[in-house]
Structure 1
Amino acid sequence: MGNERFDISIPKEYLTRDKARLLYVSSATYGGDWISTPHTHYCSELFYVIDGVGQFQVEDNIFPVSANDLVVINPNVSHTELGFNANPLKYIVLGIEGLELSVENNNANFCIVNFREIKDTVNFYLKVMLREIETRSAGYETVCQDLMEILIVLFGRQTNFSTILSPANKRASHLCDSVRRYIDQNCGDELSLEHLAKFSHVNKYYLVHAFTDEYGISPINYLMHARVKKAEKLLATTDYSLSVISHTCGFSSSSYFSQTFKKVAGVSPSSYRKTVKSDHGEMEDLSR
């Protein structure tokens, strides 16, 4: 009888468990009829193109992508997908917390690498991951996390990836910055703590704790301040009625708008408008 033993020493850079966490998996088919706008995430996103052709807008640059391209978008990098009806872009995206990837000597914010040499293997693991997510059998979370780690190792074999495992405080900072910017951009919409937690893929209690610890104010109170700030600009630069401004800035009623505005700004909306326009008129007189 023959017997061989092979000892394994796993490199530290592959030990992502309990440091990098798979947050979500999704698949999409994107033709020219789907309008996407630039956005950011606090986590990293790995887009693997299954089929079709399209483009990725990353910050102010546009890059072509096609089958077997992996697009890595690290936290807080503005991006969006652009597809074509003739050959729709089909991809699977992984949202990963605590892990940043980049190709050495390249832009650290994002990278695009083709993996046609191992496309069958990558497609297999991604399809298994999707099936686990869809069926949600017992232990599916562990299976998906393990598959994510396998894919990271396979990607690392094919190219010279630089891997950064973010510490918990950096991950929380990424999260809070992403939520803060989302509030700033969408403060006029109907937002709630549940909505913000869903956007950031975290528990709402953790979000409140992390955001308050980072900025000294809760997400909802920050939202109120952002709405008042937007209202101040409209009061100073337009002749819109208070009811129109109230609705535009996301307040549920004119009375609640006035109450919140006075609490934050120290004066009523009408008094603020009168003071600002009076000051503006005096400045114009002095400039003549």
Structure 2
Amino acid sequence: MGNSRHDLSIPKDYFMKDKAKLLYVSSSTYGGDWISTPHTHYCSELFYVLDGVGQFQVEDRIFPVSANDLVIINPNVSHTELGFHANPLKYIVLGIENLELSVANEGENFCIVSFREIKETMNFYLKMMLREIETRAPGYEAVCQDLMEILIVLFGRQTNFKTILTPTNKKSSHLCESVRRYIDANCSEDISLEQLAQFSHVNKYYLVHAFSNVYGISPINYLMRARIEKAKTLLSTTDFSLSVISRSCGFSSSSYFSQTFKKLSGMSPSAFRRASRQDETTAK
């Protein structure tokens, strides 16, 4: 009787469940028959070409892509696919949260790698993942997450440069801090969620998600609180009318200003002004 045992010692870096999360899997065919415009995502995207030929635009550069090419795009990097009618691109896209590609000594925020040598393996895992997503059999989420980790390991094997997949939490915090400072400095302006997303170069839904995680409040609610704090200062230190103060703090009308002020502070602007001046008199 023969027996062969092989013990494993798997590096901790291979276990990504506590860091990376597979957000979505999609499949598409693009032959230039619809308008593809440059866009960004808050997560990393793995774009694998199953068939066809075309081009991939990353920021202001264009690269040719064809079957069995893998394009990895870091979060917040402008990109789009460009296909041709004659031989349309067929591809699968994976969106992965909390992971970012770092290419040592390259300084790039994306990469394109050919997987022609192991195309059967790549196609097998990707199509299995797509089938799991489509059928949604019990436990499909865990299966897809595990398949994602396998694909990332295969990607690492195929590249001839050192790659590291690192958490992006610090980037999210930096992004949110930048948005918070922008709101603080411009709270009296007409600011919308779309403008904040454009300022931060991320999807507006991600901005709400990230900002709320960092500060415990949405960007628009934070904007309202910043406006009310500014109004409190003006009410306490000036004799400006409520209409002037409401305009100075970015409110569209005095009634909306009064309504928002009472909701957030528990009293009307006039009552707050009287109370603040009574406190000032008592202190003297």
Give the shorter-chain TM-score range.
0.5 to 0.7
Q: What amino acid is aligned across from residue 167 of structure 2 in structure 1?
A: S
Match of 1:228? none
Contact 2:211 2:219 survives alignment (8 Å): yes
How far apart, CA to CA, are the structure 2 residues paired with 1:47 and 1:182? Answer: 29
Q: What amino acid is aligned across from residue 166 of structure 1 in structure 2?
A: P
TM-score, normalising length from structure 1? 0.66
Q: How many residues align?
A: 221
Contact 2:102 2:166 survives alignment (8 Å): no
Q: Percent identity?
A: 67
Shift of 1:13: 2.6
Q: Deviations over 1:107-136 (max 9, x none)?
A: 430011111000010001000000000011
Q: Which moved more, 1:141-150 or 1:91-100?
A: 91-100
Q: How does 1:144-183 map onto structure 2 within 5 Å? A: 144-159=144-159, 160-166=161-167, 168-171=169-172, 183=194
Contact 1:42 1:177 survives alignment (8 Å): no
Q: Deviations over 1:72-126 (max 9, x none)?
A: 1001111111111111111101001122224443243001111100001000100
Match of 2:250? 265
How far apart, CA to CA, are the structure 1 residues paired with 2:108 and 2:15? Answer: 21
How far apart, CA to CA, are the structure 2 residues paired with 1:176 and 1:94? Answer: 28
Q: How does 1:233-244 map onto structure 2 within 5 Å? A: none
Shift of 1:182: 7.8
Q: Deviations over 1:199-234 (max 9, x none)?
A: x4x9x7x55622645xxx62334799xxxxxxxxxx
Q: How does 1:85-234 map onto structure 2 within 5 Å? A: 85-159=85-159, 160-166=161-167, 168-171=169-172, 183-184=194-195, 196-197=204-205, 200=206, 206-207=209-210, 209-210=212-213, 212=215, 218-221=218-221
Q: 1:172 to 1:266 in 2, by over 3 A?
A: closer
Q: 1:40 to 1:112 in 2, by over 3 A?
A: same
TM-score, normalising length from structure 2? 0.67
Shift of 1:11: 1.7
Contact 2:25 2:92 survives alignment (8 Å): yes
* Larger of the two Rg values belongs to structure: 2
For structure 1, the residue ranges without an aligned partner over 5 or more in a row are 188-194, 225-257, 269-288
Q: What amino acid is aligned across from residue 52 of structure 2 in structure 1?
A: G
Contact 1:176 1:210 survives alignment (8 Å): no
Contact 1:52 1:88 survives alignment (8 Å): yes
How far apart, CA to CA, are the structure 2 residues paired with 1:92 and 1:72? Answer: 12
Q: Deviations over 1:120-166 (max 9, x none)?
A: 10001000000000011110000000000001111111113411321
Contact 1:99 1:163 survives alignment (8 Å): no
For structure 2, the residue ranges without an aligned partner over 5 or more in a row are 183-191, 225-242, 254-284
Q: What amino acid is aligned across from residue 84 of structure 1 in structure 2?
A: F
How far apart, CA to CA, are the structure 1 residues paired with 2:157 and 2:108? Answer: 19
Contact 1:20 1:98 survives alignment (8 Å): yes
Q: 1:85 to 1:76 in 2, by over 3 A?
A: same
Shift of 1:171: 4.7
SS across alignment from 2:70 = strand
Q: Deviations over 1:171-219 (max 9, x none)?
A: 56568989x99822888xxxxxxx954xx4x9x7x55622645xxx623
Contact 1:16 1:165 survives alignment (8 Å): no
How far apart, CA to CA, are the structure 1 residues paired with 2:86 and 2:252? Answer: 57
- For the aligned residues, what is the CA RMSD? 3.5
Shift of 1:56: 1.1
Q: Deviations over 1:23-71 (max 9, x none)?
A: 1100111111211111111110010011111111111111111111110
